[in-house]
Amino acid sequence: MAKGLEGKRALVTGGSRGIGRSIVEAFMEEGAQVLTCGRNSTPTDLPLGVAWHSADVSDRQQAEELVAVTQAQLGGIDILVNNAGVQIEKTVAESSDEDWERLMGVNAKAVFQLCRSVIPVMAGQGGGAIINIGSISASHADPKMALYNASKAFVQGLTRSIAVDHGPQGIRCNAIAPGWILTEMADSAFDLARDPAAARADAAARHPVGRLGTPDDIAQAAVWLASAEAAFVNGQTITVDGGLVAASPLRPELF
C-alpha cells in the first residue's frame, strides 16, 4: 500500500522506541507527516523529517499543549495513535496508589485526554482516524499485571464509545491488540531466562505462525486502519498476535 497515507497528518504518542517507533517509520513510508512525543528530549536516532515534542501525556496541560503544537506544526491532525504505555508487574494486592496513578495516568487517562482534545480538531476537518494500542491482555490476563490488564480493557471500551459517539462526525476509532511483540524489553527478558534458547523456542512454538511478532507487524496494522482501505472499519479491536489467543494455552506437545 505504498503512499496510502499521502498528505495525512499524524500524531503518534510514545515514538521513541518499540512499537511506537515502528508506527512512526511506517507512517513516514506511506507519505504521512508525523509528530511524535515522549517524556525525554528528542531521541538522537529519530528519523529525519519526524517532528518531536517532549510531553508527559498523563498530564492534562501537557497533553493539550501536545495537540496544539501538532496542529500548529502539521496544520491539522488526521490520525491519532495512542501508543504510549507503561506496565507494572504487580498483583492487585501488591499495587499502591502511586502505581494506580502512574499506570492509569498513561494507559487510560492520557488516551482519554488526547482523544478529548483531538476529536474537535478532527470533527472540524470533517473526520479522522484514531487508533488506540490495547493488548490481548485485555481479554486474557497476564499474571501479575493486574492494573495493566485492566487498563487495556479500558482502552477497548473507550474505543467502542468513541466510535459510536463520534462516527457521525466522520471519526473512526479502532484499537489494535498486539500479542507478544519482540521489543527490546521482551528480548532482554529472554536473555534472563535459565535457558534463553529454549525459552525463545518455546515462545515461538506457542504461536501458530511459529514466531513472535515484530513492532512492524503492529505498525502495518496501524497503517491499514489509518488508511482509506479501512474506511468502514469502526469501533473494532483488531488482534494481531500470530494466532496466539486462537490456540489453547494447554499444549501437551510442549510439556
Partner 1 sequence: MSEVAQGHLAGRVAVVTGGCGGIGQAICARFAKEGAKVYAADISDDGMGEEGAVTFHRTDVTSEDSVSALMTAIDDNDGKLDVLVNAAGIEIEKTVEETSLEDWNRIFAINVTGMFLTSKHALPLMRKAGGGSIVNFGSYDGFIADPSLAAYCATKGAVHALTRAMACDHGPENIRVNAVCPGYIDTPMLQSFCGSAGDIESLKSEVRHIHPLRRYGTPEDVANLVNWLAGDEARYASGQLWVLDGGLTAQAQQMRL
Is residue 153 within the footprint of partner 1 (CB under 8 A)?
A: no
Which of the stretches 35-43, 52-60, 186-194, 226-234 binds partner 1 when contact is defined by CB under 8 A? 186-194
Is residue 92 within the footprint of partner 1 (CB under 8 A)?
A: no
Is residue 247 within the footprint of partner 1 (CB under 8 A)?
A: yes
Closest residue by Cα to residue 147 from 82, 97, 88? 88
For partner 1, the closer CB: 92 or 192: 192
Q: Is 232 helix (H, G, I), strand (E, B) or coil?
A: coil
Closest residue by Cα to residue 149 from 132, 167, 159, 134? 134
Distance CA 95, CA 92 (A): 5
Is residue 202 within the footprint of partner 1 (CB under 8 A)?
A: yes
Distance CA 86, CA 95 (A): 14
Do residues 4 and 227 touch, judged by C-beta distance below 8 A? yes
Is residue 206 within the footprint of partner 1 (CB under 8 A)?
A: yes
Is residue 245 within the footprint of partner 1 (CB under 8 A)?
A: yes
Is residue 69 within the footprint of partner 1 (CB under 8 A)?
A: no
Find the shortest distance in angstroms from Cβ 91 to partner 1.
12
Is residue 90 within the footprint of partner 1 (CB under 8 A)?
A: no
Q: Within a 10 A sphere around the Cβ of 137, how many other Cβ atoms?
A: 21
Active site residue 82: no
For 20, 70, 120, 135, the CA distances from 95, given in Å and listed in that order, are 27, 35, 36, 20
Find the shortest distance in angstroms from Cβ 204 to partner 1.
10
Do residues 86 and 56 touch, judged by C-beta distance below 8 A? no
For partner 1, the closer CB: 184 or 202: 202
Rg of the chain in Å (alpha carbons): 18
Is residue 197 within the footprint of partner 1 (CB under 8 A)?
A: no
Is residue 140 within the footprint of partner 1 (CB under 8 A)?
A: yes
Which of the stretches 1-9, 90-98, 112-120, 135-143 binds partner 1 when contact is defined by CB under 8 A? 135-143
Q: Is 125 left (phi over 0), alpha (psi -120 to 50) or beta?
A: alpha
- Residue 94, burial from CB neighbour count under 10 angstroms (0-12, 13-18, 19+): exposed
Is residue 185 within the footprint of partner 1 (CB under 8 A)?
A: no
Do residues 192 and 160 touch, judged by C-beta distance below 8 A? no
- Catalytic residue selected from 27, 52, 148, 154: 148
Select the residue interacting with partner 1 from 141, 153, 233, 240 (CB under 8 A): 141
Select the residue interacting with partner 1 from 136, 155, 181, 225 (CB under 8 A): 136
Find the shortest distance in angstroms from Cβ 160 to partner 1.
21
Known catalytic residues? 148
List contacts with partner 1 (CB under 8 A).
136-137, 140-143, 180, 189-190, 192-194, 198-199, 202-203, 206, 244-253, 255
